[in-house]
Amino acid sequence: MPKTKVLAAASSTDKSPARKRAKPVKSAKPAVRSASAVSRRLRQIEDKRSAILGAALGLFSRFGLHGTSIDQVAARADVSKSNLLYYFANKEELYVNVLRDLLSVWLEPLRGFSAEQDPGEAIGDYIRRKLVISRDRPDASRLFCLEMIQGAPLLRDELDRELRTLVERKSEVIRAWVEAGKLAPVDPHHLIFALWAITQHYADFGVQVHALSGHTLDDAAFFEQTVENVQRIVLQGITVR
Amino acid sequence: MPKTKVLAAASSTDKSPARKRAKPVKSAKPAVRSASAVSRRLRQIEDKRSAILGAALGLFSRFGLHGTSIDQVAARADVSKSNLLYYFANKEELYVNVLRDLLSVWLEPLRGFSAEQDPGEAIGDYIRRKLVISRDRPDASRLFCLEMIQGAPLLRDELDRELRTLVERKSEVIRAWVEAGKLAPVDPHHLIFALWAITQHYADFGVQVHALSGHTLDDAAFFEQTVENVQRIVLQGITVR
DNA sequence: GTCTATAATTGGATAGAC
DNA sequence: GTCTATCCAATTATAGAC
């Protein structure tokens, strides 16, 4: 059966190198280097860390956890494999860290709308913001999608907690709009699903979009055309009135 | 860098066991068995083949090509690993065959609409049909999605040929509807993307849908509610008129 | 056609020098 | 912190008997 090994709580929001979590970056020896030298060093480390994370995101988001080897990530981040394993104790920890960074990007745009706003404007805005993400961070979108398809073994908890309560709050907003007669009667969940689905499609199915339309969201004209069309479909619908 | 080995044309729509393609299933020896016995044997073989394909689809669609081992597929199909490798020369050939079977299921519903139909009805119908697929064949949907995310290395050709021409034809239909004033002005491509995205979302993001709404498409009431909401959103839109 | 080895390879992870 | 050299486990795939 499929790998049962639970991608466990290699968690902790800690950002120091692997395994030696307890050990401070600098030892207790009298400071030979100046403060600025130390901070430069710290920044170097942090840079390397994020270079690795970036490379990992790029590869994981295309080929998945199992389709990507540590070697490939290391090569892309321009570090040696064992060096990479100094920063992240093992492959799974690397993966988990990539995912964690993702989630914040993910939840961000939704926070945006509240009952006081005009629903049409709020939703039109949301569509644009999500499409910007699909354009600028397609790999984030893809990795999120990959994770979902696999049954979200790692995000399940977050799904049940953070995302769920956030969605419930926003559903209330939508419900309020409907009850105030400012929005056609629609189930909040389905509306949210529709918004997510359409906007993320341009990232996750980017290849298909390109094959069929000949364009990418990077093409400014196509981007605007996309925003407009999606807004029109969801807001006005396609039936003649 | 990511596996460059091209998943080559292990193709051919042939359905006989691997490697020994040229060799007929029964040798030229005088028929010892009756015709019905032979056909029964043939059916057994075909059954086994599709059992393997079914098992493979289930696993590949969750864990991807690299996340699934031949052993797992064999176990799930209830055959030995080496026996599986008798039917499919190697893992990639198995994968390719699973994908090929998929594509037909995939293109089917789109063929359905033509300019004579009432657009609202045709599209409403299409939405329902696609949601039925998301309900009954979520693994097909997921595998397709996985393939897309990876840049469709195997489907790219088909994308450029079959799908593309099909989509162009249907785009013409939509364009005709718009020009006849039967449909609000909308870009055909974006409309098609929206339809695909929303309907497939319920399969690909099934876990999320369940986590947030508490329901599955298998729940008949939820299914109907979904059909209705998606139809309403796309057709009427959510703005009060 | 099906099975039992077994070869061959990949890739994750560790040890230990520097 | 970084590197080289290994070790070791997991898998794919093949050989060859039945």
Write the CA distances from A39 to A22, A46, A172, A196, B7, integer angstroms: 19, 10, 47, 41, 48
Interval A103-113 mean pLDDT: 86
DSSP one-letter string for A168-205: HHHHHHHHHHHHTTSS-S--HHHHHHHHHHHHHHHHHT
pLDDT in tens, A38-77: 888 888 888 999 999 999 999 999 999 999 999 999 999 9
- Specify the pLDDT at position A173: 97
Considering only residues 37-56 of chain A, list those whose CB is below 7 Å from strand D.
41, 44-45, 48
pLDDT in tens, B64-76: 999 999 999 999 9
pLDDT in tens, A11-21: 445 556 665 44
Closest CA-bearing residue to C1' of C5: B82
Q: Note whether B176 contacts A: Cβ–Cβ < 8 A.
A: no
Q: Please tell me the total number of residues recorded for chain B in this structure.
A: 241
Residue numbers in A near B183 (CB within 8 A): 238-240
- Specify the pLDDT at position B23: 33
B71 CB contact with strand D at below 7 Å: yes
- Specify the pLDDT at position B34: 74
For residue B178, pLDDT beyond 90: yes
- Specify the pLDDT at position A106: 84
Q: Could you tell me how many helices (H) and strands (E) chain B has, helices first?
A: 11, 0
For residue A177, pLDDT beyond 70: yes
Which nucleotides in chain D lie closer than 7 A to a protein CB?
1-5, 10-16
CB-based burial label for A182 (10 Å; 0-12, 13-18, 19+): middle
Choice between B201 and A6, residue whose per-residue pLDDT is larger? B201
**Contact at 8 Å (CB) between B123 and B173?**
no
Residue A174: closest C-alpha in chain B: B238
CB-CB: which of A67, A196, A235 is closest to B64?
Answer: A67
Measured between its terminal Cα atoms, the distance across chain B in Å is 54
Q: Which of A25-34, B86-95, B160-169 has the lowest mean pLDDT?
A: A25-34
- Specify the pLDDT at position A169: 96
Residue numbers in B near A77 (CB within 8 A): none
- Specify the pLDDT at position A34: 74
Enumerate domains of chain A plus CATH numbers: 33-88 (1.10.10.60), 93-238 (1.10.357.10)
- Specify the pLDDT at position B17: 67
- Specify the pLDDT at position B36: 82
User: How much is the mean pLDDT over chain A?
Assistant: 89
Q: Which of A113-117, B19-23, B207-211 has the lowest mean pLDDT?
A: B19-23
**CB environment B149-184: b (16+ within 10 A), e (fewer):** bbbbebbeebbeeebeeebeebbebbebbbeeebbb
Instruction: Tell me which of B103, B199, B208 to substitute to probe the interface with A (most A C-beta atoms closer than 10 Å).
Output: B208
User: How much is the mean pLDDT over chain B?
Assistant: 89
CA A232 from centre of chain: 26
Number of Cβ atoms within 10 Å of the Cβ of B11: 13
pLDDT in tens, B10-65: 444 555 666 444 333 333 445 566 778 888 888 888 899 999 999 999 999 999 99
For residue A24, pLDDT beyond 50: no
- Specify the pLDDT at position B182: 97
For residue B8, pLDDT beyond 70: no
Residue A207: closest C-alpha in chain B: B151
Identify the residue whose tokens are 């489907």. B155
Nucleotide nearest to A85 in CA–C1' terms:
C13
B81 CB contact with strand D at below 7 Å: yes
Interval B99-126 mean pLDDT: 91
Interval A157-178 mean pLDDT: 94
CB-CB: which of A152, A181, A230 is closest to B207?
Answer: A152
d(CA A15, CA A21): 9
For residue A223, pLDDT beyond 80: yes
B20 CB contact with strand D at below 7 Å: no
